[in-house]
Amino acid sequence: MILNKTDAYFAANVFEEFFDTFNRIDDYMRQIKMERMETFPYSLPGMGPENDLFDKFDMHPNDMDFVVSPCRQDQFMSYMEITTSAPVEKSIPGKQMLWLVKEKNSGMVMGMIRFGSPTINSRPRNEWLGKPLNTLDPSTMKRFNDSVIMGFNIVPSQPFGFNYLGGKLLAAICCSHTVRETLNKKYNANICMFETTSLYGSSKSSSMYDGMKPLLRFNGLTDSNFAPLINDDNFRKLNDWFIKKNDGVSLVPVDASSRKLKTQTKMVSIIKSSLKSCDEDAYAKFCQTFLDAKGLTEKKRSFYSTYGYDNVPQYLNGETDTLIKKENFDRFELENVIEWWRKKASKRYENLKSDNRLRHQVETWNVNAEDIDIIR
């Protein structure tokens, strides 16, 4: 598909006008988030999802008990949309398991976890395994898909995350045998590896996953060679416009995974080809816009857990069919990872309290967005 000059200018301008307004990733995230909140359903006072979030900030970590349970997609998305700074997609390709973590005594929500299928290509994982996955070998890919799970979203409510190291609690739960066994049962799998990435890269000097050995370990930085997605409104309008130009046919199959990303990638490819054939200066300007936009994304810190197994690289590489347990295998039981967190959270809570730095106001995007610091 090649656009005429006028159409190529029009489509290119949509991207250029959008990306030219941002210099930092948090500026981009705030605008996307605020636009999405404009369509968030209104709730009567005292009846919104924000009223379910933990607000008992005089409670010591030693007095907390936790309930971890699956939840409905609509419920999960409501809590996610008002809590997380990052744009959240309703669906992800492959596996999906949605969990809420609640404080048992109060019944209030402490955080949300979404598990999903891992990315196929990961530089840190490739280096850890000693080689990239052989994606053309069915047996290799079956073992990989049956063995590895990813933490797509690990989001503590705020300021539970700040006051109590809530991100570490949720990540520790992800590394527990309870998670592994639940996934095994749901997908008839043999999960032995969990992986996730930090939300921020170079814009923040630390991650909530730092200091979590032996439960979770750092294994390098991801590649970052893509531009973020344009906002929902521009995407919908431009996608409809491209479909009309393409005789009513979508640019990518309707059942494609990561459809929005693939659609935008196809749009950009068409615009580049069209501009290159009619206006070299406009082509160069458009290419520069995307080089600058790629600068908004960052290399993310990659972290992994092997749930207390000793030979996961050899197992994933097909060198053995038997997983070997380490001596600390039992340390990954749910009650043990919670106790690991409790010690750290108690110290954090007591220090904040003595310094009069405890936060007491629940932070949500639908109530007090102006007070939220995206890069906490």
Residues of the chain with pLDDT under 50: 375-376
What DSSP string runs through 289-325?
HHHHHHTTS-PPEEEEE-TTBS-HHHHHTTS-S---B
The pLDDT of residue 119 is 87
Strand partners, 193: 148
DSSP label of 85: S
- pLDDT given for residue 371 in this prediction: 64
Euclidean distance between CA atoms 225 and 203, whole angstroms: 16
Measure the CA–CA gap between 245 and 290, rounded to whole angstroms.
23
Task: Please name each of the domains of the chain with its CATH number.
Answer: 5-26+227-294 (no CATH), 40-224+297-371 (3.40.630.30)
Tally the residues of the chain: 376
Confidence (pLDDT) at 49: 85
pLDDT at 120: 86
What is d(CA 83, CA 54) in angstroms, rounded to the nearest whole number? 12
**Quick check: pTM over 0.85?**
no
- At 56 the three-state DSSP class reads coil
Residue in 20, 17, 22, 8 with CA at minimum distance from that of residue 267: 8
Which candidate, 199, 123, 191, 111, places its Cα nearest to that of 156?
111
Give the dihedral of Cα atoms 56, 60, 65, 69; nearest 10 deg.
50
3 state SS of 114: strand
Question: How far is residue 80's CA from residue 33's CA, in Å, rounded to a whole number?
Answer: 11
CB atoms within 10 A of CB 59: 17
Site of tokens 């941002």: 22
Dist CA 67 CA 74 (whole Å)? 20
What's the angle, vertex CA 30, arms to CA 220 and CA 43, rounded to 5?
120
**What is the structure's pLDDT at 307?**
98
Residue type (1 letter), 24:
R
Instruction: Supply the pLDDT for residue 28.
Output: 75
Compute the distance between CA of residue 101 and CA of residue 173 in angstroms, rounded to an integer: 9
Indicate the DSSP class of residue 188: T
Please name which of 91, 81, 114 lies closest in space to residue 261, comparing C-alpha atoms. 91
